[in-house]
């Protein structure tokens, strides 16, 4: 049964928005090339700029007739150096001084000449002699030799030019900064006001970090999905508990690869993906996937293998960062990633059985829905069903079906626009708008006409419906029906 090419895509592609694709025309082209979701990095630009991006995304969404989730990625307690003018050269074997200028002023002390300013109020409390401080994604490193609050002396191990606003990492150091900063709270308010769909929480260390964000959202009656970014060793240690309280997970390999040995990252990535698959939670693999395409029109063979292996491991989505935000070839990067994903998916579906390892986290509210989802995926495999259509207010049934990785196309049908966008992050799931709910039979017939009218399927296609009866009562999914278009 021939279906539109876009519906055959299983793995979703998250694209970071920046000057390279921040216009309506470029975003429309990005969606046409294979973009499934857009990420706004709150570490860069102003609310005004991000607001313009959101408006442009919604226009591109209408032009392409798609439902595109927007992810607001919080900066988190990112440790950075301050302003350094044209940069400071760190010479191996020389000592440097680190201090937070605001703390120095508060203590009415003089900031030492030549000292490096950092945005880290508790640096002297968290560090001790022998600790390592890394700068610029680990390219530069120093070792702490002496701590005298508020100053930290350190010996340069690996030198080079340190430039303004570069990041700091402290491997094996318990950073006392809160996971949700004042800036994050402002950015969360912005995300709620502008109708974003997900928020990505940076530098998560424990489940309570996610729970704090959940409380913040609930107090404002917001249903934003929460993505836990795994980039700290503490988060890797508590990964199962973090998955349990999150709506999705991102394997953020950039800072993670600085905090833990680079050789460990591939194995940690595979473990996190497997655990997310096991729990039925969407997982995004991110960072430097096609990094060379920031400046080149083609990826390296290693990058192509990296993307393909992320798909074969079980990623729901893969992500582009600088490639699409500031790169010279953003549309080409998206198209390249889509081609690689498509080839990997073909192999994945050829060799893989229906996901048998999936074990949803027990919940009384989803127990029956999960049973229906399991049955739907199993029937679809055995009957070679063309489409599984889940009628849902929340998109939960679609997520649970997708967790089984059926070959059938999954269409999440809903009257709720937010739900249609939210499911856009789920493996193999596509949203379809329904204007109204009537009786069960009338609604099924209406959906069948929509599937035909939109050209998604031709007459003779088989569709497996999952529905909650009675519809008017918004009942949880409790019914299966096989129909022919």
Strands, DSSP E only, in 107-241? 116-119, 132-135, 140-148, 151-158, 160-162, 167-169, 198-201, 225-230
Query: Is residue 92 located within the same domain as residue 109?
Result: yes
Greatest alpha-carbon pair distance for the chain in Å reads 80
Final residue of a structural domain among 122, 138, 169: 169
Q: Which domain holds residue 378?
A: 367-484
Query: Is residue 54 located within the same domain as residue 190?
Result: yes
How far is Cα 28 from Cα 41, in angstroms, rounded to an integer? 20
Over its length of 485 residues, how does the chain's per-residue pLDDT go in tens digits?
Answer: 445 556 789 999 999 999 999 999 999 999 999 999 999 999 999 999 999 999 999 999 999 999 999 999 999 988 999 999 999 999 999 999 999 999 999 999 999 999 999 999 999 999 999 999 999 988 999 999 999 999 999 999 999 999 998 989 998 898 887 879 999 999 999 999 999 999 999 999 999 999 999 999 999 999 999 999 999 999 999 999 999 999 999 999 988 999 999 999 999 999 999 999 999 999 999 999 999 999 999 999 999 999 999 999 999 999 999 999 999 999 999 999 999 999 999 988 887 655 554 555 545 456 788 888 999 999 998 899 999 999 988 999 999 999 999 999 999 999 999 999 999 999 999 999 998 877 888 999 999 999 999 989 999 999 999 998 766 556 677 789 999 99
Q: Does residue 357 form part of some domain? A: no
Query: Is residue 65 located within the same domain as residue 84?
Result: no
Query: Is residue 223 located within the same domain as residue 107?
Result: no
Q: What is the CA radius of gyration of the chain?
A: 24
Query: Is residue 278 located within the same domain as residue 418?
Result: no
Question: What does the block give as tokens for 359?
Answer: 């074990």
pTM here? 0.92
Query: Is residue 70 located within the same domain as residue 195?
Result: yes
Question: What does the block give as tokens for 76?
Answer: 């988190």
Is 199 in contact with 184 (CB distance < 8 Å)?
no
Buried b (16+ CB within 10 A) or exposed e, 452-467: eeeebbeeebbbbbbb
Q: Which residues does the annotation mark as catalytic?
A: 39, 80, 229, 287
Query: Is residue 257 located within the same domain as residue 327?
Result: yes
CATH number of the structural domain spanning residue 273:
3.20.20.60
How far is Cα 466 from Cα 387, in angstroms, rounded to an integer? 11
Query: Is residue 63 located within the same domain as residue 107?
Result: no
Domain count, the chain: 3
Is 472 in contact with 444 (CB distance < 8 Å)?
no
User: Residue 282: which of 399, 389, 369 has the closest Cα?
Assistant: 399
Helix (H) or strand (E) holding 283: strand 283-286
Q: Does residue 336 form part of some domain? A: yes
CATH number of the structural domain spanning residue 129:
2.40.33.10
Contacts of 31 (CB under 8 A, 6+ apart): 60, 61, 64, 66, 68
Query: Is residue 315 located within the same domain as residue 184?
Result: yes
Query: Is residue 119 located within the same domain as residue 192?
Result: no
Q: Does residue 469 form part of some domain? A: yes
Query: Is residue 306 located within the same domain as residue 238?
Result: yes
């Amino acid at each position: 049964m021939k279906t539109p090419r876009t519906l055959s895509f299983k793995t979703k592609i998250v694209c970071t928005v920046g000057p390279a694709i921040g216009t309506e025309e470029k975003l429309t082209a990005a969606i046409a090339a294979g973009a499934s979701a857009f990420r706004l990095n709150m570490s860069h630009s102003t609310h005004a700029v991000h607001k313009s991006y959101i408006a442009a995304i919604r226009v591109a969404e209408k032009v392409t007739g798609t439902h595109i989730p927007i992810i607001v990625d919080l900066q988190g307690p990112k440790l950075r150096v301050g302003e350094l003018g044209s940069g400071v050269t760190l010479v191996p074997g020389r000592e440097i001084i680190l201090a937070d200028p605001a703390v120095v002023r508060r203590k009415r002390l003089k900031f030492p000449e030549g000292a490096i300013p950092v945005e880290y109020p508790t640096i002297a409390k968290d560090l001790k002699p022998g600790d390592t401080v890394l700068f610029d994604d680990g390219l530069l490193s120093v070792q702490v030799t002496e701590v005298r609050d508020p100053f930290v002396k350190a010996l340069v191990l690996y030198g080079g030019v340190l430039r303004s606003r570069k990041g700091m990492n402290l491997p094996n150091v318990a950073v006392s900064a809160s996971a949700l900063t004042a800036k994050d709270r402002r950015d969360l308010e912005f995300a709620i006001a502008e109708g974003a769909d997900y928020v990505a929480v940076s530098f998560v260390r424990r489940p309570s970090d996610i729970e704090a964000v959940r409380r913040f959202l609930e107090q404002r009656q917001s249903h934003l999905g929460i993505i836990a970014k795994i980039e700290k060793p503490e988060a890797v240690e508590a990964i199962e508990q973090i998955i349990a309280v999150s709506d999705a997970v991102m394997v953020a390999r950039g800072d993670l690869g600085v905090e833990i040995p680079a050789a460990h990252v591939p194995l940690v990535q595979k473990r996190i993906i497997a655990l997310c698959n096991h729990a039925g939670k969407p997982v995004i693999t991110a960072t430097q996937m096609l990094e060379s395409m920031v400046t080149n029109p083609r990826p390296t063979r290693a990058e192509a293998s990296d993307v393909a292996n992320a798909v074969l491991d079980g990623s729901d989505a893969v992500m582009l960062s600088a490639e699409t935000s500031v790169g010279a070839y953003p549309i080409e990067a998206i198209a390249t990633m889509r081609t690689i994903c498509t080839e990997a998916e073909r192999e994945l579906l050829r060799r893989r059985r229906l996901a048998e390892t999936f074990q949803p986290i027990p919940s009384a509210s989803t127990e029956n829905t999960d049973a229906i989802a399991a049955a739907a995926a199993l029937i679809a495999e055995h009957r070679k069903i063309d489409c599984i259509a889940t009628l849902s207010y929340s998109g939960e049934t679609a997520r649970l079906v997708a967790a089984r990785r059926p070959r059938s196309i999954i269409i999440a049908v809903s009257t709720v626009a937010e739900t249609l966008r939210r499911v856009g992050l789920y493996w193999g799931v596509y949203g379809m708008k329904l204007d109204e709910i009537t009786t069960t039979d009338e609604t099924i017939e209406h959906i069948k006409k929509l599937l035909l009218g939109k050209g998604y399927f031709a007459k003779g296609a088989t569709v497996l419906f999952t529905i909650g009866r009675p519809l008017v009562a918004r009942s949880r999914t409790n019914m299966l029906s096989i129909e022919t278009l």
